[in-house]
A and B are shown apart, each in its own frame.
Chain A
Amino acid sequence: MILDSKIPEGPLAEKWEKHKFNVKLVNPANKRKYDIIVVGTGLAGASAAATFGELGYNVKAFCYQDSPRRAHSIAAQGGINAAKNYQNDGDSVFRLFYDTIKGGDYRAREANVYRLAQVSVNIIDQCVAQGVPFAREYGGLLANRSFGGAQVSRTFYARGQTGQQLLLGAYSALNRQIAYGKVKMYPRTEMLDLVMVDGKARGIVTRNLITGKVESHSAHAVVLATGGYGNVFFLSTNAMGSNTTAAWRAHRRGALFANPCYTQIHPTCIPVSGSHQSKLTLMSESLRNDGRVWVPKTIELAKKLQTGELRASDIAEADRDYYLERKYPAFGNLVPRDVASRNAKLVCDEGRGVGASGLAVYLDFADAIKREGLNAISAKYGNLFDMYAKITDENPYESPMRIYPAVHYTMGGLWVDYNLMTNLPGLYATGECNFSDHGANRLGASALMQGLADGYFVIPYTIGDYLAQMPSDKVSTDHPAFKEAEQNVQAITNKLLSINGTRTVDDFHKALGQIMWDYCGMARNAEGLKFAKQEIRKLRAEFWRDVKVIGVNEELNMTLEKAHRVADFLELGELMVDDALNRNESCGGHFREESQTPENEALRDDENYAYVAAWEYAGEGNEPILHKEELKFENVKLTQRSYK
């Protein structure tokens, strides 16, 4: 298989314009003859579904939540980047492109990232027109802030709820199309299989989560906008329902899965408090603008902090190690996420972590409060401080917050070309579900940008190119391919229900999460990864022998829903380990202990690994097949990232 990224010829800045001119168009009168399925209604899905509807296509949109408004995009806090340069501080499309490529540790496609930076400016216009209430200055114009270590203020925000406001904007556009009858919405419905007819993606099989009914839906193209797979770790900042099932089942039908090992571990999350923990809560990265990260200089002091013998305020200034400021004087506490996370792990591994578990570092606002006053800090971070207090029962105005990294975002995903189409004709992947724009590490405030760029401004063009070249004839859901997929879904369900073992689904999920976190988390090595692969295989075998799923299919059965999802995580987990093992270099969110500089920084190996690793499913029990897409850098020079 030759991976063709279909990147248009020509200078970087002109590629997208040229491509837009070269794509084939569907005649306006013919658009209503084409059906598109969109799975997932977060930023990438809702924006795409709404825009398809506006263009005149017939859309069926699916989400597992009770309403499209609840997709996990809603939880994004910090903001959305756009190269508007409203602040006159030197930003430009090229600078946003450059920062994103560099931030991704040179493991993303230049052309995709440049296009992302180009359309970023349209996103802000679109959202404002929808009535999204972005933060504003007293003069009535939009406010910006610097975010995630960026040297310019290009982040647009809506307090700490930017994701919510953007999603509600896309949701309102989607609602408008639902009201017009152009989009038919299927909430509480989960995609469980992809249907291929004559080598093209022509539909999906779903399960109605209320009635259990398995149904087929036929269309001319299928768009997966189902988010990331961070829940493979069990504990993550993802929503409880976030899963990889739609993407994974597409993978099993032939779609390549790219760079699965690229996982973003967010440095500022509330630490785990006990074995009952069901998810982790992110504290916005913006906190690092004013908070100072530290641990005690000695293990002895850390021990006393862990047992509660001493409190943070008892530690003298001279006994504190503000390790990020010490190691990275230029960026200080604002180093990129992967660097901040890894350093937190390092100091905790040294035994200098704080909190009862020793797995936390302090994020201290005492200096900021002294400098700017309590009110100013409260105005900036009040809602975050309140959330922290609610969860931990500690007052962050008085004692420093305890934070620890947590799985947050997955840069890997289904392999797509420049048109966002997977290697399966007619199957597209957008947003976090694909692998395309963030390389090995995503910058803060870029996830929202990518989701909306894909949905509003990229796929509406590129999908037309595909549809224009195919007849509008519909495939009946009575087609044998649909029946085969339905039977496949039914067979998995029956298998899960028939095992009647002793271990619960959550129990397996937690066990998988622990393996992933320990061996495929913030730091990975060959030995650990090989061990993890065996452990996951054992666990998967045990799952299919001993999992406990009760009830029947024909009802609201949450255990069965989870079982389907965890079954897929158990396969994906192994692929992540395979990918991490294959990539014998450190880059961005993937840190191989074998590949680091003398100062313990990630060390890339551009000679051997400047490629996208796209994995092909080879059937149960078989090793996946690796396909490489070489990354060519013509506009940026590959350098060792340095935030010193």
Chain B
Amino acid sequence: MAGNNPNAKLMNLTLKVWRQKNMNTPGQLVTYPVKNISPDMSFLEMLDVVNEELLVKNEDPIAFDHDCREGICGMCSLFINGRAHGPERGTTTCQLHMRSFRDGDTITIEPWRAAAFPVYKDLIVDRAAFDRIQQAGGYVSVNTGGVPDANEIPIPKTIADKAFDAATCIGCGACVAACKNASAMLFVSAKVSQLAMLPQGKVERKTRVENMVAQMDIEGFGACSNTGACAAECPVGISLENIAFMNREYLTAKATSENVA
């Protein structure tokens, strides 16, 4: 079947891929030459091709996380040529296409690196720390049923839109991967701000920020140096404003909450 661009030239590339058998074995970069890659392929489709070739040679395919392949589930990761999700801004790895590379390029592919994201295998890391942070308070405590009518509390459109901007976080971990301190501040602050901005979330705003920040620290993420790398590398454009918002929430909560423990 012909591609979008029938005249597109096929590319030959050199991949340097992090291979690591499991959590307890040290890994290393392994070089793979790759031939005849169409610029219309997505980055992950290129890896599919490499894996099919490895399989045929009885070699273990490269393990990488991926699922929806449309940039929304947050499952894909990959640190490509020194950038989280590769060279294009506002793009997840699954939406990155090979036309962003040139024939003859060498591409280095590494997993997210953070103490809180241990490597399971090759390019797959364990991001359960993110779930545990959400479990510490990333919710509004309402049971199913017994809630007021949806239109009972009007929310100014500007607030709703801002909350939405924060809520678009896909939880991929690129912010941690890109931060020189492997800090999770952008991820945590996105949920804290979303819920603190909305009337529904205001009830628990103090305990929420206290508990989520405490869990973030327990998980071993670094602190924020305000470099802005996280927001710049975030595939969905979560803003640094959320971090300031969370700092403010945290300080206010600590100063005024009833929690003395």
Contact = CB atoms under 8 A, between A and B. Distances in A.
Tell whether A and B belong to one assembly.
yes
Interface of A: 47, 50-51, 54, 65-72, 74-75, 84, 86, 122, 124-142, 158-159, 161, 163-165, 168, 171-173, 175-176, 178-179, 185, 187, 210, 237, 239-241, 272-279, 281-282, 308, 355-357, 387, 390-394, 456-457, 460, 504, 506-507, 548, 550-551, 555-556, 558-559
A172 B91 CA distance: 25
Contacts of B164: 133, 158-159, 165
A175 B49 CA distance: 37
B157 A138 contact: yes
Specify which of A239, A272, A282, A456 lies most central, judged by the most chain B CB atoms within 10 Å of its CB. A239
A128 B126 CA distance: 31
B163 A133 contact: yes
B128 A66 contact: yes
B48 interface: yes
Interface string B138-181: 11111111011111011111001101100110110000000000
Interface residues of B, number: 82
16 contacts: A66-B127, A67-B171, A74-B72, A75-B73, A129-B148, A131-B201, A140-B155, A161-B72, A176-B139, A179-B136, A276-B40, A278-B69, A390-B91, A390-B95, A556-B120, A558-B63
Specify which of A137, A163, A277, A308 lies most central, judged by the most chain B CB atoms within 10 Å of its CB. A277
Nearest to A128: B150
Contacts of B41: 274, 276
Interface stretch (B50-58, B219-227, B241-249, B252-260): B50-58
B3 A282 contact: no
B66 to A, nearest CB: 6
B198 A308 contact: no
B84 interface: no
Contacts of B136: 179
Given A158-B164, A556-B124, A131 B140 contact: yes
B135 A67 contact: no
Given A70-B74, A172-B134, A178-B135, A276 B55 contact: no
Instruction: Summarize B's interface: helix, strand, loop or mixed.
Output: loop
Nearest to A460: B144
B144 A67 contact: no
Specify which of A47, A172, A392 lies most central, judged by the most chain B CB atoms within 10 Å of its CB. A172
Contacts of A278: 42, 44-45, 48, 69
A230 B128 CA distance: 29
List the 10 shortest-distance A-B pairs measured between CB atoms, nearest first.
A140-B154, A172-B139, A129-B147, A356-B2, A133-B164, A128-B150, A239-B67, A179-B135, A70-B73, A556-B121
Given A175-B139, A393-B97, A75 B128 contact: no
Interface in B98-140: 99, 120-121, 124, 126-128, 130-131, 134-136, 138-140
A84 B58 contact: no
B198 A391 contact: no
Given A54-B144, A74-B68, A390-B91, A273 B4 contact: yes
A355 B66 CA distance: 29
Contacts of B95: 387, 390-391
A489 to B, nearest CB: 22
Given A86-B151, A129-B147, A187 B194 contact: no
Nearest to B73: A70
B134 to A, nearest CB: 5
Specify which of A67, A134, A171, A237 lies most central, judged by the most chain B CB atoms within 10 Å of its CB. A67
B49 to A, nearest CB: 6
Nearest to A70: B73
Contact of A356 (B3, B42, B49, B200): B3
Contact of B160 (A126, A133, A357): A133
B138 A172 contact: yes
A165 B167 contact: yes
B140 A172 contact: yes
Given A125-B148, A387-B95, A130 B73 contact: no
A131 B45 contact: no
Nearest to A136: B160
A13 to B, nearest CB: 20
B144 A272 contact: no
Contacts of A129: 140, 142, 147-148, 150, 200
Nearest to A160: B72
A126 B72 CA distance: 23
Contacts of A277: 45
Given A273-B3, A276-B38, A390-B91, A72 B150 contact: no
Contacts of A281: 69-70
A133 B198 contact: yes
B200 A130 contact: yes
Nearest to B65: A66
A123 to B, nearest CB: 9
Contact of A279 (B60, B69, B120): B69
A418 B248 CA distance: 50
A239 B144 contact: no
A524 to B, nearest CB: 23
Contacts of A67: 127-128, 130-131, 171
Specify which of B2, B127, B130 lies most central, judged by the most chain A CB atoms within 10 Å of its CB. B2
B26 interface: no
Given A129-B142, A390-B91, 15 more contacts: A65-B67, A68-B131, A74-B73, A128-B153, A131-B200, A133-B163, A133-B164, A141-B154, A172-B139, A178-B131, A274-B2, A356-B3, A504-B52, A506-B52, A556-B120
A482 B4 CA distance: 51
Contacts of B139: 130-131, 172-173, 175-176
Nearest to A122: B145
B195 interface: yes
B45 A65 contact: no
Given A276-B49, A392-B4, A125 B149 contact: yes
Specify which of A71, A175, A394, A456 lies most central, judged by the most chain B CB atoms within 10 Å of its CB. A175
Contacts of B150: 84, 124-125, 127-129, 134, 142
A52 B203 CA distance: 24
A387 B71 CA distance: 9
Contacts of B127: 66-67
